[in-house]
Amino acid sequence: MSFFDSVELGPPIEVFQLTKQYTEDDFPQKVNLGVGAYRTDDGKPWVLPVVRTAEKALANDDSLNKEYLPVLGLDLFSVLSTKMLLGSDSVPLAENRAFGVQVLSGTGALRVGAEFLAKRLGKTVFYFSKPTWENHRLVFLNAGFQEAREYRYWHEANRALDLEGFLEDLNNAPEGAVVILHACAHNPTGCDPTQEQWGQIAKVVKERKLFPFFDSAYQGFASGDLNKDAWAVRFFVNQGFEIFCAQSYAKNFGLYNERTGNLVVVSNNLANVAAVKSQITLIIRGNYSNPPSHGARIVAYVLSNKELNDQWGENIKTMSSRIIQMRKRLREELEALGTPGSWNHITDQIGMFSYTGLNEAQSLHMVQKHHIYMLKSGRISMCGITPNNVQYVAKSIHETLT
């Protein structure tokens, strides 16, 4: 007899299981295209040089200590981070109607934001794209939402955005529902709406009185340009929307395990700001009490120093251009092999991930036969592709499809 006898075994988390399988595999040419983390041309993890510089400076600063941060975290970090998202000319920022709160990376921002919406505003229904990052559902349900609904996003046959389905599903959403929107570099498809399509999406969100909750996990990492990657969020804000936005520094600063993130709130009424902040404070207090300082200090240090900020810009370009280059190479290799199908989607897509179009059986074949670890959905992380393995990956896709 045990107190825990009634506990059932939960399903494994695919992406972590895949990494474990990969690690245990002793095949020399194995490739990990599962995990969403940057790799160098040599297939190694990368600590951004600008992060190392900041860490050294912070380590030598004897005025810093390990005391608790406030519940809402490091103020300078949130201020600079919010400005990075909304732009230095943002009207809500100038009017103090927008603010940020330091949280536990992008996931923590989604969780705190969702808990606020569910518990303080009584929201029950949320929408996410089909497909989406696999954690959206669990985070929102755990935060107190009751009903997870999908909006169509990916058109299988066209290997492109299903705008019609997207708009139709939002058009049928109940008033007040929360809609999760990927700010850029949609995970897992790598396919973003165009500016014109964002305009159509915004129109329906407004008409149906939905609440846009942006998820910004790749600002700067996607295109190499912070402003370009924030376009959709700024567009909504300029249209007068109130929004939440979850910002992550996992990818663009490479601070994956430091759990560094910011929840941005834009309100249309300055009078609400203090109350909203106070309720978010209570949610965090009752959750993890206060955030860790290390990553937030690094980000604040870099963003507040012109020279380091420029260096960061270079580091971001190194990452985004390597990925863009690997997209080109993979497409070229597949086309040179004459692999069936068209491969322009590989270079049309943006960001860390690509939806290859391989189905579940084909993706499993890639794992079992070729030791190329990828999700069942056919998603690959472009970061796992290097000049040394791109031919092997292309040949394996070719073999799988012929």
Question: Which chain residues interact with ligand PMP by CB under 6 A?
Answer: 36, 105-107, 133, 182, 187, 215, 217, 248, 250, 256, 261
Identity of the residue, 36 or 190, whose beta carbon is nearer to ligand PMP in the bound complex: 36
Q: How far is the CB of 170 from ligand PMP (least distance, A)?
A: 19
Q: How far is the CB of 215 from ligand PMP (least distance, A)?
A: 5
Q: How far is the CB of 333 from ligand PMP (least distance, A)?
A: 26
Paired tokens of 41: 């041309």
Q: Which H/E stretch holds residue 211?
A: strand 211-216
Q: Which H/E stretch holds residue 270?
A: helix 270-285
Q: How far is the CB of 143 from ligand PMP (least distance, A)?
A: 14
Residue closest to 258 by CA, chosen among 305, 299, 215, 304: 299
Residue closest to 401 by CA, chosen among 368, 366, 354, 349: 366
Distance from first CA to last CA of the chain, Å, rounded? 55
Q: How far is the CB of 36 from ligand PMP (least distance, A)?
A: 5
Are 110 and 137 contacting, i.e. CB atoms less than 8 angstroms apart?
Answer: no
Are 165 and 193 contacting, i.e. CB atoms less than 8 angstroms apart?
Answer: no
Please, which residues have CB within 8 angstroms of residue 344's CB and are 6 or more apart in sequence? 331
Identity of the residue, 182 or 331, whose beta carbon is nearer to ligand PMP in the bound complex: 182
CA distance 271 to 234: 22
Unique residue bearing structure tokens 């929102």: 140
- Tell me how crowded residue 241 is: count the other CB atoms within 10 A of its CB: 18
Please, which residues have CB within 8 angstroms of residue 220's CB and are 6 or more apart in sequence? 226, 229, 252, 313, 316, 320
Q: How far is the CB of 164 from ligand PMP (least distance, A)?
A: 23
CA distance 399 to 402: 5
Paired tokens of 190: 């790598």
Residues known to be catalytic = 133, 215, 251
